[in-house]
Amino acid sequence: MTPLGLFLPGTSPLHRAPAGLKLLGLVAAGVVSVLLDEPWQVLVALGVVTVLYGVAGISLRVAVAQVRPLLWIALGTAVFHVLVNGPARAFVVVGVLAVLVLLAALVTLSTRTTDLVDAIVAVCRPLRRVGVDPDRVGLLLALGIRCVPVVVGLAQEVRDAQRARGLGASPRAFVVPLIVRSLRHADALGEALVARGAEDPVPDEG
Amino acid sequence: MTRASAPSPSPRFTSRDLALVAMFAGVVAALGLVPAFTPPGFSVPITAQSLGVMLAGAILGARRGGLALVLFLALVAVGLPLLAGGRGGLGVFAGPSVGFLIGYPVAAYVVGWLTERAGPTYKLHWGIVANFVGGVVVLYLLGIAGMAVVLGITPWAATVASWIYLPGDLVKVVVAAVVARGVHAAYPGLLGEGRAARESAEASEQQAV
C-alpha cells in the first residue's frame, strides 16, 4: 500500500501471520544463530530459509537481491577466515550472516509497513512506566513516514531553484535552503498538531 | 501533560519538537538519495547520509537530533528503503553495517551535546570539533565494533575495512559545520531552546495544576 515500502503483497501463510509473531521468530533466529557452529548446521539453516522463501512465494531473484550488497564484504570476510581459522569457520560465519540477513529481509518483504508500525507501538506499551507514551511513538512514526516524501519534494524544489540561478553542485547552496525550508515546514506542522489537540492528555486504554 | 510523560526525568517532547524530529528524519532520508558510490570491496556506500547525522545534532541539539536518528532507523526497520543506495528493511540490522546504524543516533546526540556546550550561538570551529568527535570518533568506534562482531573478524581488520570512508567523512565534518552555521544564521533560536523549553514546560505544568 505504501509505494515507498519494500513490502511485496501476497496471500501466503507468512504474509497472513501476525507481525509480532514474525518479529519474535526473527529474535529467536538471532539467538539460535549464535549456537550454530558446524557447517552442516548452517546448511540446514540455509535450507530452512530457502523453504520459507518458497512458502512466501518470493522469487529467487528477489531473494538474491537481498544479499547482493553484501557480496564483496562477504568475500573479504571469507578470505580472512580461510587464512586465519580455516574454510569450515569461513563457511559458518558467512553462512550465518546470509541466513540472518535473508530472514530479516523476509519479514520485511512479507509484512506491511503499517503492521510493523503497530507492532512497534505495541512493544512500547510496557515502556509507559519509564515515560514513553506509545501513542506519541505511533504519531511520530506516522509523521516520519509522511515527512520523507515532503522533504524529497522540497529537495527537488531547491535543486530546481539552484539550477535556475545557475549555481552548480555546491552542497552548501543545496543543503542550507533544504534544511531551512524543512524547519519552517516543521513549524507549520507543529502548529497543526497543537491545533488538532496532539498536546492533550491521551486516555489510558491499557 | 500526558500522564505517561509526567514521571520522565527529562523534559518531554512538545508537538513542535516531534514535528522538527520527523522533518529531520526526512532530511536524513533525502540526503541518502543523493547518488551514492559503493567502492568495490566495501559494503557501505559513500553518501551524504552521514552528513545528515552530524547536521541533526548540530542543528536540533542532542535530544531532538538523537531522536530524529532513532526515528530514521525505525522508518528503515518498518520497511522504507531510506538508507543510501535504496537499502532498508530489517535485513540491514543483521548485516555488517549495523554498528554504524546504531551509532547514528548516538553520534547525533554527542554532536548535539557538544554543540550545546558552546552556548546559543553556533561557533564554526567548535562545531567542527563537535562534528569530528561525534560523527567520526564515536560513529567509527561503534561501527567498527559492530563490523568485528557480525563478521567475526578482529577490530584491526574491521578498521582496515573502514578506512576508505574516512577522507569523505572528514570533508563532511567541515561541510556540516558550514551548513549548520548557515542554517542557524537563517533560522536562529534552535540551540538556546533547551533551557527555554524546560522553563516554559515547567511554567505550563504549574498552570495546568
For residue B37, give the 3-state DSSP assignment.
Answer: strand
Number of domains in chain B: 1
- Tens of pLDDT, residue by residue over B135-150, are 999 999 999 999 999 9
Residue A28: CB atoms within 10 A of its CB come to 10
* CB contact (8 A) between residue A148 and residue B75: yes
The percentage of chain A sitting over the pLDDT mark of 70, rounded to a whole number, equals 92
Q: How far does chain A reach from its first CA to its final CA, in angstroms?
A: 29
Where is mean pLDDT largest: A32-41, A80-89, B65-74?
A: B65-74
CA–CA separation, A81 and B129 (whole Å): 38
Cβ atoms of B90 and A19 within 8 Å: the answer is no
Strand partners, B46: B37
Domain positions in chain A are 13-111, 130-195
Q: Is the pLDDT of residue B45 over 70?
A: no
- Please state the rounded mean pLDDT for residues B122-142: 96
Residue B95 covered by a domain: yes
* Neighbour-count burial of A12, counting CB atoms closer than 10 A to its CB (0-12 exposed, 13-18 middle, 19+ buried): middle
Q: Is the pLDDT of residue B37 over 90?
A: no
Q: How far does chain B reach from its first CA to its final CA, in angstroms?
A: 10
Domain that holds residue B98: 15-36+43-204
Q: Is the pLDDT of residue B4 over 70?
A: no
CA–CA separation, B84 and B72 (whole Å): 12
- Please state the rounded mean pLDDT for residues B80-103: 89
Interface confidence (ipTM) of the complex = 0.84
Confidence of residue A145 (pLDDT cuts 50, 70, 90): very high
Confidence of residue B199 (pLDDT cuts 50, 70, 90): low
- Tens of pLDDT, residue by residue over A9-31, are 889 999 999 999 999 999 999 88
Listed in sequence order, the DSSP H helices in A36-165 are 39-56, 60-67, 71-85, 87-110, 113-124, 134-164
Q: Is the pLDDT of residue A128 over 90?
A: no
Higher pLDDT, B203 or A92: A92
- The answer for residues whose C-beta is within 8 angstroms of residue B154's C-beta and 6 or more apart is B148
Cβ atoms of B89 and B76 within 8 Å: the answer is yes
Residues on chain B touching A100 (C-beta within 8 angstroms)? 94
Cβ atoms of A133 and A202 within 8 Å: the answer is yes
pLDDT score at B165: 82
pLDDT score at B205: 56
The percentage of chain A sitting over the pLDDT mark of 90, rounded to a whole number, equals 54
Q: Is the pLDDT of residue B208 over 80?
A: no
Residue B8 covered by a domain: no
CATH number of the domain bearing residue B65: 1.10.1760.20
Q: Is the pLDDT of residue B46 over 50?
A: yes
CA–CA separation, B146 and B168 (whole Å): 20
* CB contact (8 A) between residue B26 and residue A76: no
Residue B165 covered by a domain: yes
Q: Is the pLDDT of residue B39 over 80?
A: no
* CB contact (8 A) between residue B78 and residue A69: no
CA–CA separation, A154 and B141 (whole Å): 34
pLDDT score at B66: 97
CA–CA separation, A186 and B19 (whole Å): 5
Residue B199 covered by a domain: yes
Q: Is the pLDDT of residue B7 over 50?
A: no
CA–CA separation, A195 and B166 (whole Å): 46
Query: What residue type is assigned to position B192 of the chain?
Result: G
Quick one: which H or E segment has residue B117? Answer: helix B98-117
Confidence of residue B106 (pLDDT cuts 50, 70, 90): very high
B93–A contact, CB cutoff 8 A = yes
Going by C-alpha positions, the residue among A48, A172, A16 that lies closest to residue B172 is A172
In chain B, which among 18-77 make CB contacts under 8 A with chain A? 18-27, 29-31, 33, 38, 40-43, 48, 51, 55, 59, 71-72, 74-75, 77
- Please state the rounded mean pLDDT for residues A97-112: 93
In chain A, which among 128-157 make CB contacts under 8 A with chain B? 128-134, 136, 139-141, 143-148, 150-152, 154-155
**In chain A, which residue's Cα lies nearest the Cα of B80?**
A5
- The answer for residues whose C-beta is within 8 angstroms of residue B64's C-beta and 6 or more apart is B13, B17, B20, B21, B24, B56, B112
Residue B19 covered by a domain: yes
Cell of residue B124, nine digits: 564554526
